[in-house]
Chain A
Amino acid sequence: MLTYVARRVLYSIPVLLVASFLLFVFVRATFDPTVKLRASRDPQAVQRERERLGLDKPVPEQFVKWLGDFVQGDFGHSERTRESVSTMIVRALGYTVQLIFWGVVVSAIIAIAIGVYSASRQYSKLDYTFTGLAFLGLAMPPFWFGLLAMQLLSSGPKQWFGLSEPIFPTIGLHSPGESGINLDYLRHLVLPVMTLTVQIIASWSRYQRASMLDVMSSDYIRTARAKGVPQRRVVFKHGLRNALIPLVTVMSLDIGAVFGGLIITEKIFSVPGMGRLFFDSLLYGDIITLEAWFVVSALFIILFNLIADVLYGVLDPRVRLA
């Protein structure tokens, strides 16, 4: 196992190098950070900034310098805020990780439960209902769902029932003056996590249902049933473990991808995570932040691909990690 992981990590290095070079070239070709200084009263301002950022050197030389700093943890300083980019990314990741953690936990529990139930009660009324809801969820634009959830679960109840404050707040992850995990935090989480999970639950529950149906029609399940193994044991011990394998792969890949993809949820609910950092940096053309952001996002995708492969082997003894 360790050899396999080590080899996969080694394989990932050239992938990451090529990806980071392409992203670096793409960002430098798209944005000119000196544009804002063209109107400066100081005629040397543009040239000074080009020299400071190393833009006066060939792109490969710029990349090597940037990469050297990056691997040492020095991501540079933001053009927009003058703050250390590593500090900004760590801070933003803190918020995004919280959303993803809760989103994945909630989605996995609900999606697996729905998938298992739908497969074991195929073509029942509830199976049809879950199927309909899944398609509705997949078709639901997150920004619209988020705003609807705000209206129906936050401002609406407050007005209808004359509450002093909304049950589910819509700003950030804490009320002013609050911190840590407490009731206030959980109340703040409800709406953004709901918005984040609606499409994920829809998608994962369909995977789980299909996978479970596939497994439940296998010969070994039939054998288990013929031997008189109770239905609950057949479903959870023999069926679910095997049916989880494809879902775990999908989940791992999805988690890696959403690290940078929560722009809408984070914007609507004022959560200063990775999505909002990307959005703000893109608007400003903050190349130093964007370069680091892209590479960190790519790192997460590669990491979760690796996790998917490793989990695949753990869950399925037929797969040999060698």
Chain B
Amino acid sequence: MRARQITRVVAACAIATVVGAISIFPANAAVRRQGGGGGDIVIGAEQEGDCADWISSCAGSSWQIWIMGQHTMPRTFDFVPKSKTSIVYERNVLLASEPTVEEEGGKTVITYEINPDAVWSDGEPITSHDFFYTWDQIVNGEDIYDPTGYIDIESVDDSDPAVAVVTFSTPYSGWRSLFGGQYGIYPSHILEGQDRNAATVNGYDWSGGPYIADWQKGVSVTLTPNPNWYGDPVKNDSVTFQFLTDTAAEFQAFTSGQVDAIYPQPQPDVIEQIEAGIEGANSYFTPYTPNAEALWINNAAFPFDSVKVRQAFAYSIDRDVVVERLFGGLGITEALNTINPPITAEFADTEAFSKYTLNLKKVKQLMTSDGWEKNADGFWEKDGEQADIVIQSTEGNARRALTEEILQELLGNAGFNLTIENHSAGDLFGQNLPNGDFQVGLYAQVATQLEPGNCSIFCSYNIPTEDNEFSGQNWTRTDLPQIDPLLETVGSSSDSDEVAAANKKADKISAKFLISLPLDPLPNISLWSKDIKGINKKAPDSGVFALFWNLAEWTKS
């Protein structure tokens, strides 16, 4: 048989199959909506969130909020980057004027005057009842992600639709992140009387923001301009976030021009890709983030129930070396020296932990003064018990695995036997940490507001106990009653100087007793095509709302 005949048969079969398949699957015409004429922008999204009910516990994914929630939910304040080290709140166009804050009989009353032009995408006005409905759902709803701040609200007066009067029974310093932030404001006229979660969990077609979102599960979220948007006109025609969960595929998609921007996590393979060079792209790397990655120490677990052991542990680690190994490729080489995330730096003592550098003499001095001696294996031992330490983190995270390996080597040199034991996020955060079944945890705390607020994780009365029905979030079992009043002030004072003074003092005490050891700020990485305009190259990242805070201003040439 001749090869030509085989070729003919193959070609005939291929053509028949294509024609057949085209007749089986009907083609739909491409749908393109018109917007501000600034082009159709495509962005790679590393993660797809599980749901779009932002106040529910299923909405823990920052990504889904960045790509959908923040562009469709009205909010009172924006997070605006002003420089490399400054992010500020700015009043959103939802409000007609700056909210007024008054103290009345020991209570804080905040009055929001709503912009008379502010309407939902169906043309209905945004009213004070929407504020009330949102607060009521968060405080009284089931399976709520985090009611912090809202539970301090005593009432929301919605008697005047154009004015929402919010009364706090307990002052809350982060009030600007309420009725906004990660949650936004829900449309009461649409959702009241029905199951909010069921109505929003898989997406929604209403909007009170600049865009209307269309969530194609597993594929993309497409934002098209909201025709009833009451702010500055949206400049682009559409923005599509395509889900790219594989890092290598994400970079291929970016370098081949299939996506115009990406915002990858600082994993080792990402940093390798960046070091290898990406042509035709703008890039921005910043340690000024809402993240604080630390070695969270269980202060109640042996051997860390001793302050001296905790301090010796800290002197065993060259944190700058760890940061250099992890993020040197981004030019980030210095460890975090406060237990607060960098975006709250103005309220923190950013040098509080700086004395904890590698110092083996100090380790020896602290350990021997605490009754420890080195055994034949070179590890510290006391009363027959060796200084064995288990570190736990989230499995499947290459950066954390590398961090643990570096720590294992450093701590081994100092006489601590470190074992690595990683778990699924569910087991780690749902079981081991709350139950106190850990010695050291490696993970990040992520801020959702610009004010500090560590009382929930460090105040002594928030240690999970029977008294608080094991609901406390102080998983490190930090028991320093002297920092409780300081952290309470931080959480409740509306005087920023007072907040800063109290928080800096708390930072110093935290460092003195080494309640945990901050490691790094988990830098943010922004990469975008040179065809994209509207991004401030000097300060593109808003931290809480990532690179996407001003998406409506982006255009594609």
Query: A81, B201: Cβ atoms under 8 Å?
Result: yes
Interface residues of A in 117-156 (CB under 8 A from B): 117, 120, 126, 147, 150-151, 154-155
Rounded to whole angstroms, the CA-CA distance of A150 and B250 in the bound complex is 11
Determine the chain A residues whose CB is within 8 A of the CB of B201 once the complex forms: 81-83
Within 8 A of A (CB), among B205-242: 217-220, 222, 238, 240, 242
Please state if A180 and B26 are interface contacts (CB–CB under 8 Å): yes
The answer on a CB contact under 8 Å between A38 and B256 is no
Residue in B29, B248, B433 whose beta carbon sits within 8 Å of that of A39 in the complex: B433
Binds B, one of A11-19, A162-170, A304-312: A162-170
Asked if A318 lies at the interface with its beta carbon under 8 angstroms from chain B, I say: no
Q: Is the interface of A mostly helix, strand, loop or mixed?
A: helix
Contact of A270 among B21, B28, B32, B246 (CB under 8 A): B246
In the complex, A186 Cα to B18 Cα: how many Å? 9
Are B25 and A154 in contact (CB-based, < 8 A)? Answer: no
CB–CB A81/B30 < 8 A = no
- Interface residue count on the B side (C-beta < 8 Å): 69
Instruction: Please determine whether B6 and A117 come into contact, CB atoms closer than 8 angstroms.
Output: yes
Binding stretch for chain B, among A171-179, A200-208, A220-228: A171-179
Please name all residues of chain A whose beta carbon is closer than 8 Å to the beta carbon of B6 when the two chains form the complex: 113, 116-117
- Please tell me if the beta carbons of A272 and B258 are within 8 angstroms of each other in the complex: no
Q: Cβ of B249 and Cβ of A270 under 8 Å apart?
A: yes
Cβ of B450 to closest chain A Cβ, rounded Å: 24
A residues 30-71 near B (Cβ < 8 Å) are: 35-43, 45
- The listed residue (A38, A105, A110, A164) touching B430 by CB distance below 8 A is A38
Given A81-B201, A120-B1, A285-B424, decide whether A181 and B27 contact each other with a Cβ distance below 8 A.
Answer: yes
Measured between alpha carbons, how far is A180 from B29 in the docked complex, in Å?
8
> What is the distance, in angstroms, from A298's C-beta to the closest C-beta of chain B?
23
Number of A residues near B (Cβ < 8 Å) is: 63
Q: Which residue of B lies closest to A84 (CB)?
A: B202
CB under 8 Å from chain A, chain B span 151-210: 197-198, 201-202
Q: Does A182 contact B (CB under 8 A)?
A: yes
Q: Given A117-B3, A176-B42, A39–B430 Cβ distance below 8 Å?
A: yes
Which positions 512-541 of chain B face chain A at CB distance < 8 Å? Answer: none
The minimal Cβ–Cβ distance linking B219 to chain A, given in whole angstroms, is 6
Tell whether B244 is near chain A: CB-to-CB under 8 Å.
yes
Q: Please name the residue on chain A nearest to B245 by beta carbon.
A: A267
In the assembled complex, how far is the CB of residue A44 from the closest CB belonging to chain B, in whole angstroms? 9
Q: How far is B6's CA from A231's CA once the two chains are assembled, in angstroms?
A: 13
Chain B 1-30 interface residues, beta-carbon cutoff 8 Å to A? 1, 3, 5-6, 9-10, 13-14, 17-18, 21-22, 25-30
A209 CB within 8 Å of chain B: no
Task: Give the complex CA separation of A49 and B244 in angstroms.
Answer: 32
**In the bound complex, do residue A155 and residue B256 qualify as a contact, i.e. CB atoms below 8 Å apart?**
yes
A158-B257, A285-B426 known; A82-B243 Cβ under 8 A? no
Are A170 and B242 touching (Cβ within 8 A)? no
B434 touches A39 (CB 8 A): yes
User: Does B383 belong to the interface (CB within 8 Å)?
Assistant: no
Contact (A272, B243) CB under 8 Å given A81-B50, A82-B51: yes
Tell whether, in the assembled complex, residue B28 and residue A180 are in contact, meaning their CB atoms are under 8 Å apart: yes
Question: Hey, which chain A residues are within 8 Å of B202, CB to CB?
Answer: 81-83
Partner of B10, one of A102, A109, A159, A177: A109
Q: Which of A81, A117, A170 contacts B51 (CB 8 A)?
A: A81
Question: In the complex, A276 Cα to B243 Cα: how many Å?
Answer: 12
Chain B residues with CB under 8 A of A81: 50-51, 58, 201-202, 217
Contact A181 B470 (CB under 8 A): no
Q: Mark A274-294, 1 if CB is under 8 A from B, else 0.
A: 001100000111000000000
Q: Does A38 lie within 8 Å of B435, measured CB to CB?
A: yes
Q: Is residue B429 contacting chain A, with contact meaning CB distance below 8 A? A: yes
Across the interface, do A166 and B21 meet the contact criterion of CB distance under 8 Å?
no
Q: Are B25 and A181 in contact (CB under 8 A)?
A: yes
* Residues B249 and A154 in contact, CB atoms below 8 Å apart: no
Write out the residue numbers on chain B whose beta carbons fall within 8 Å of the beta carbon of A95.
Answer: 218
Contact B252 A272 (CB under 8 A): no
Complex partner residue of B253 from A80, A83, A171, CB under 8 angstroms: A171
Instruction: Let me know if A155 and B255 touch, CB within 8 A.
Output: yes
Cross-interface CB contact of B244 among A117, A177, A270, cutoff 8 Å: A270
- Whether a CB of chain B sits under 8 angstroms from the CB of A91 is yes
Is B258 within 8 A of A165, CB to CB?
yes
Question: Do B1 and A235 have beta carbons less than 8 Å apart?
Answer: yes
Partner of B256 from A37, A110, A158, A180 at Cβ < 8 Å: A158
What chain A residues lie within 8 Å of B29 (beta carbons)? Answer: 180
Q: Within 8 Å of chain B (Cβ to Cβ): is A295?
A: no
* A-side contacts of B434, CB under 8 Å: 38-39
B306 CB to nearest A CB, Å:
27
Taking CB atoms, residues of chain A closer than 8 Å to B3 are 117, 126
B348 at the interface (CB under 8 A from A): no
Whether A169 pairs with B258 at a CB distance below 8 angstroms is yes
**Contact: A232 with B1, CB < 8 Å?**
yes
Check A269 for interface membership: any CB of B closer than 8 A. yes
Q: Closest CB-CB distance, A85 to chain B, in whole Å?
A: 13
> Of B21, B246, B257, which one neighbours A267 at CB under 8 angstroms?
B246
**Residue contact A105 to B17, C-beta cutoff 8 Å:** yes
Chain A residue contacts of B424, Cβ below 8 A = 283, 285
* Contacting pair B17 A170 (CB below 8 A): no
- 18 other contacts beyond A43-B469, A283-B396, with CB at 8 A cut-off? A35-B427, A38-B431, A39-B473, A42-B471, A45-B143, A102-B21, A147-B249, A147-B252, A165-B258, A176-B40, A176-B240, A177-B31, A179-B30, A181-B22, A182-B27, A232-B5, A270-B245, A272-B218
15 sample A-B contacts, Cβ–Cβ < 8 Å, listed by A number: A36-B426, A36-B429, A39-B430, A80-B58, A81-B217, A82-B58, A83-B201, A110-B10, A150-B249, A166-B258, A169-B256, A170-B252, A170-B258, A181-B25, A268-B249
List the 6 closest A-B pairs by CB distance, nearest first. A272-B218, A180-B27, A155-B256, A176-B240, A35-B430, A39-B434
